[in-house]
Amino acid sequence: MDPAARPTARVRAAGAAGDHPDRTFQIVAAAVSLHAAMTALDVDELEVSPWALREGVLLRYIEQLNWSDGRS
């Protein structure tokens, strides 16, 4: 591979975080905010999900409705 075509560390970090390279600066801010919230709420661990917040809210809502996918 041509060295000029290799992704920069910033691009690799963004890909690892699942984010666009132009938004990598948000990773540190998000980590600091998350740490502060976890400390304030006395939360020791979190479950990481591949879903976005809106999908999580929707899934939680559906669970509360006790819907079934029809395969049971």
19-61 pLDDT, tens digit each: 677 777 788 888 899 999 999 999 999 887 777 888 888 888 8
Look at residue 51 and tell me if it is in a domain.
Answer: yes
4 band by pLDDT with thresholds 50, 70 and 90: low
Tokens of 60: 């939680």
Q: In angstroms, rounded to a whole number, what is the distance separating the alpha carbons of residues 8 and 19?
A: 14
Is 48 in a helix, a strand, or coil? coil
pLDDT at 12 over 70: no
Supply the pLDDT for residue 39. Answer: 96
Asked if residue 70 belongs to a domain, the reply is no
Query: Residue 69 is encoded by which pair of tokens?
Result: 């996918």
Residue 48: domain span: 3-65
Measured CA to CA, the distance from residue 48 to residue 16 in angstroms comes to 14
Check residue 59 and give its pLDDT.
Answer: 85
In a 13 Å sphere around the CA of 3, the CA atoms on its Cβ side amount to 0
pTM as predicted: 0.44
The verdict on residue 72 lying in a domain is no
